[in-house]
Chain A
Amino acid sequence: MIRIENVTKSFDDIKAVDNVSVSINENIVFGLLGTNGAGKSTLLRMVAGILKPDEGTVTIDDRKVYNNTKAKRNMYFVSDTPYFFANGTPMDMLSYVANQYPDFNKEKYVEYLNTFSLAPGRKINTYSKGMKRQLALLLGICSGTKYLLCDESFDGLDPVMRQGIKSIFAKEMDERGLTPVIASHNLRELEDICDHVGLLHRGGVLLDKDLEDMKLNIQRAQCVFKSEEEEKKLKEKVNIVKEEQSGSLRTYTLRGTGEEIERAFGEVETIFFEVLPLSLEEIFISETEVAGYDIKKLIMG
């Protein structure tokens, strides 16, 4: 487990990360969301042991990570701008990274390179931006580490590649319990891949929730009541997050499971009633609006 406890980091007069506490369980895909400058990269670089927190602690499996090779051996960091040796090839990178990570799976690496049509002997500086990101991710995946920290690594990947990487994640999670931590400023990038999401804003954590829980516990319902009395009755039975009205059509965002909502509507008289699924984006909008933020401005890139 990655445990981030009361971590603060400042650069000169700017507080990049302010008293952040997040725990990342094993064998999940953790999404770290936030606008540019929210502190995602700084937090990930602290988790990667590159930066030393000014305050607080970052531990990986109960080992402090800064300056600790044992802790770092469990983690691979894919930077937002991955570095490759000048004139290096994927095989040169393999040679170096495999020397650092004893569990590096060379066969799998070559296999993945072929799968993604990345020529092992071709110079990396001739690769496209997306190919470089794929290569960086493949190096991380094959390093054999338990945790894979990806800083904006999915930006620029085409849907096919995303799906490919996603499949590999699923496979690795299944086979050896890989825990990818993916930072992104774009919620849509994470929507279909993450199990758990932390939302960073201005250096602090705004939200830290399991996506399934979030999806299960918030619903949208549309209905037309027979009378205003029925509407009042419903409002006493449910927890309304948001309410919209268009003529006699009411649209509610409600907390609770689908069953609970349906049961509550079953107890009032309606002309029309329907429970609709919410996209992750809509869930975030609702949740952050409750907290007083306009998420559209924050992360809907």
Chain B
Amino acid sequence: MTSRSSSWVDLRENNKRRLWQWCVALFFLVIMNVISFLISVMSINTESYTLTYGARAREMMEKVVRGYAESFMGVSGLNIFYTALIAAILGIWGFAYLNDRVKIDFYESMPAKKGRRFSVIWVNGLVIFAASYIVGMLINYGILTAAGYGNVFSMGEALQAFFILLAFFAGVYHLAILSEVLTGTTFITVCAFVVLSCYEIIMRGIVIMLKQDFFDYVHTMSGDLLPAISPYGIFGYVLNDLDDTGSMMPHMLYLIVFDLALLILVYVLYHKRPLEAAGKTIAFKGLKPVLKFLLTIPVGLFVADIVYGILKDSSKNTFKASAITIIVTVIASILVSALIQGIFEQDIRLAFRKKLNWVLGSVAALLIFFGFRGDWLNIDRYVPSPSMVNSAVFIPQGYDGKYTFLDSDLDMLDMEEFAVRYMHLTDAGTVCDITRLSMDRYDKEMEILGEGEYPESGMFEYAVVIFRLKNGHTMSRAIQVPVKDETVTDLLDTLLSSKEFKDGYYDFNRFDIDEAISMTTAKNLDARYTDGVWRKPLTVEETIEFMDLYMKDIEDISYKDRLEEYPKGHVIFCIDTRDRYDRTMEYDIPVYPCMKGCAEYITKKGLDTETMDYKDEITGITVTNYHNKETDEYYNSLGEDEEPDDEILNSLNTTVFYDVDSIDQIVPYLVSNEVYTYRWDGGKGVEPDYSVQLSFNSEGQIGKELAGYIPTYAFLEGEVPGFVEEDTSIR
């Protein structure tokens, strides 16, 4: 008979046995949390904020307090750490009696059902965590309200955080109990918990390492390291959802289902666990070879990869490198296997037993290693067919000079995070074609290089492609795109000119630019336009007007429109972000002639120096031709021990043009080096051989403004005036 009252007595009795666990939970979740929160709130100096922010002081203080509330009452790193730590302690030490024969004799001889004993300990663990957390949360909420900030963080938000953390707690708690029921001593239980917690992430890390070493195209996304079958990984996905605007429910449900599945597993194992396992390393005899196998493989793979990497770099003999790798891997696998066996037996003298395990562990590690090396499963070059793709992401690294992005809530994201969140290209066919063509061209290029020849290729630019497959999976490829290839250019024009791409690549339409800029004005907006000579400041209104025009221009122009153009200038300005580090984001926006709205606005506002109209102020143009190609050829023609001839090396020719005619002829061909930026699209660039410096009359308007600064210029590709070319040729 199990009455409710006797269960209550059991719970109460169990609690008495777990006083120190209560103390740990209360220490972290109440004492530490509350004191830290109290100190943080009390440290806010109202006067200082009023002096700094004036009318916005209250708003800024609320922002700071909200940050504190999120840290101590929300799903913060601190609370996650406390939760995981307490879950591990409660899980391991709640069931630690299983490791003690004396306690087993006492408890297991009592006429209580195993299920009841399990549920009493399990429920008590939950109660210890939940009660401590809620007490801490309520006190913190009281502090918040008493300090007059009750409005910045609602009780609903605090409770939501509690339930999310509770789901995470349950996962780690069950993992800890699993470690307990699988092992027989507390030391081994703690080790098992660490291994269970880290195993998937270690395996993923090793697989990523192997992919990076042996695969050219497989790309690792930041989320790939997140384990999908451990509470940590699933909780990581929930955290990502929390940061995103999307719903976290699917991942929360997954976490809850995972928690339940783990609970059922530990419940069954608890019942099946032979009680004589107390004091042994592993409770279930049959698990020993499995565990040994599972632990030997990652070590074998890691060693194989390191050894092969060293040998491959130091020797060109692949066969020799492979042979040594096999030998070292086998030795490493045997040693690990023996070590684990020694731990199992609790006697290192018995370590070299079970030799079949050596063979299995070594063979498995080597098969996986060489499987990666040879891409036996054709993973690396695999590109899905468009019919399998739901949507795709195409990330040209640094296209339009962008590397960091702002989210709708002014949080700073890297390119991949932003694109993954907002880019949904339905034209999967074009993405697949670009991917395949890029791989083919790059393979060919490498083949030619491998044969010792220099390919006549165009340039390759790095891009990341992510396919969201219809089966729910995501696969990613890192490719080198031959941007000068005509077919590829056409495909890129189709893709990068599309609205879908622009929606997922340009962040300006994600947030309220007026608000963002006006927020920045509190710290003086540093917006300016430069064409290489002038740096003209823009007012807040001008910046907002310019940005409106820019967004429209981006919408109107195509990928190809800019290919033959060179930026006429740049607008540079900063926005204060709202990310946790309060960073400032700098925008550097190139203005191309085809961006008619922007270009006209710049001219209309008189922001262009139109330097070239001030030819009269130019006193001389210094052109230097470095003859890079000839110099390279000369170097290549030198024998191994041959010293280069200085006379030939000094043949780079510098000519200064002083006459007005020459100046008039050269000036139209010049572009400012300062406005040239890296171009992913391989568009119009400058002649790399030439460097041009303009000298201005120091008494003139420009000369005065430059105050001794000598701006550098260049010629556009293929647009060097003939007489300049002739005057600077090798003599």
Contact = CB atoms under 8 A, between A and B. Distances in A.
Chain A partners chain B: yes
A145 to B, nearest CB: 9
Contacts of A217: none
Given A69-B112, A72-B109, A76-B109, A83 B6 contact: no
A79 B105 contact: yes
Contacts of A96: 13
Nearest to A102: B1
A51 interface: yes
Contacts of B13: 95-96, 99
A101 interface: yes
A85 B16 contact: yes
A83 B111 contact: no
Given A52-B274, A67-B114, A69-B112, A45 B105 contact: yes
B9 interface: yes
Contacts of B114: 67
Given A69-B111, A72-B111, A101-B111, A50 B275 contact: yes
A48 B105 contact: yes
Interface string A192-204: 0000000000000
A100 interface: yes
Contacts of B1: 102
Contact of B112 (A77, A85, A100): A100
A82 interface: yes
Contacts of B10: 99
A36 interface: no
Given A95-B9, A100-B110, A83 B105 contact: yes
Contacts of B106: 79, 82-83
B373 interface: no
A73 interface: yes
Contact of B111 (A52, A79, A85, A100): A100
A86 interface: yes
B481 to A, nearest CB: 62
Given A49-B108, A51-B275, A99-B6, A69 B103 contact: no
A50 B112 contact: no
Contacts of B275: 50-51
Given A11-B276, A92-B16, A69 B113 contact: yes
A50 B104 contact: yes
Nearest to A100: B110
A91 to B, nearest CB: 12
Nearest to A48: B109
Given A50-B104, A50-B275, A81-B102, A72 B110 contact: yes
Interface string B93-110: 000000000111110111
B344 to A, nearest CB: 11
A92 B285 CA distance: 37
B17 interface: yes
A59 to B, nearest CB: 15
Interface residues of B, number: 23
A50 B105 contact: yes
B149 to A, nearest CB: 43
Contact of A50 (B6, B9, B17, B109): B109
Contacts of B104: 50
A70 B1 CA distance: 9
A82 B102 CA distance: 7
Interface residues of A, number: 32
Contacts of B276: 11, 51
Nearest to B1: A102
Interface in A80-115: 81-83, 85-86, 88, 92, 95-97, 99-102
Nearest to B10: A99
B288 to A, nearest CB: 11
Contacts of B110: 72, 97, 100-101
Interface string B1-24: 100001001100100110000000
Nearest to B285: A12
Contacts of A75: 109
Interface in B271-300: 274-276, 285
Contacts of A79: 102, 105-106, 109
Contacts of B108: 48-50
Among A50, A75, A102, chain B packs the most CB atoms within 10 A around the CB of A50
A266 to B, nearest CB: 54
A128 to B, nearest CB: 18
Interface string A112-145: 0000000000000000000000000000000000
A123 B14 CA distance: 18
Contacts of A70: 111
B9 A85 contact: no
A83 B113 contact: no
Nearest to B100: A83
B480 to A, nearest CB: 59
A75 B109 CA distance: 8
Interface in A26-65: 45, 48-52
Contacts of A99: 6, 9-10, 13
Contacts of B109: 45, 48-50, 72, 75-77, 79, 149
Contacts of A92: 16
A86 B103 CA distance: 11
Nearest to B345: A12
A86 B17 contact: yes
Contacts of B103: 83
Contacts of B16: 85, 88, 92
Nearest to B116: A69
A85 B14 CA distance: 10
Contacts of A101: 110-111
A66 to B, nearest CB: 10
A149 B110 CA distance: 12
Contact of A85 (B17, B105, B285): B17
A100 B117 CA distance: 11
Contacts of A97: 110
A96 B105 CA distance: 15
Given A50-B104, A50-B105, A51-B276, A73 B111 contact: yes
Contacts of B102: 79, 81-83
A178 B658 CA distance: 124
Nearest to B103: A83
A85 B275 CA distance: 20
B119 to A, nearest CB: 14
A101 B110 CA distance: 8
Nearest to B114: A67
Interface string A247-286: 0000000000000000000000000000000000000000
Contacts of B105: 45, 48, 50, 77, 79, 81, 83
B456 to A, nearest CB: 71
Interface in B114-149: 114
Nearest to A12: B285
Contacts of A67: 114
A51 B278 CA distance: 12
A203 to B, nearest CB: 15
A77 B103 CA distance: 12
A96 B117 CA distance: 13
A48 B276 CA distance: 13
A176 B495 CA distance: 92
A83 B103 CA distance: 6
Nearest to B271: A67
B76 to A, nearest CB: 35
Contacts of B112: 69, 100
A33 B275 CA distance: 24
30 contacts: A11-B276, A12-B285, A49-B108, A49-B109, A50-B108, A51-B274, A69-B112, A69-B113, A72-B109, A72-B110, A73-B111, A75-B109, A76-B109, A77-B109, A81-B102, A82-B106, A83-B102, A83-B103, A83-B105, A92-B16, A95-B9, A95-B13, A99-B9, A99-B10, A99-B13, A100-B112, A101-B110, A101-B111, A102-B1, A149-B109
Given A48-B105, A77-B109, A79-B109, 12 more contacts: A45-B109, A48-B108, A50-B104, A72-B110, A81-B105, A82-B106, A85-B16, A86-B17, A88-B16, A95-B9, A99-B10, A102-B1
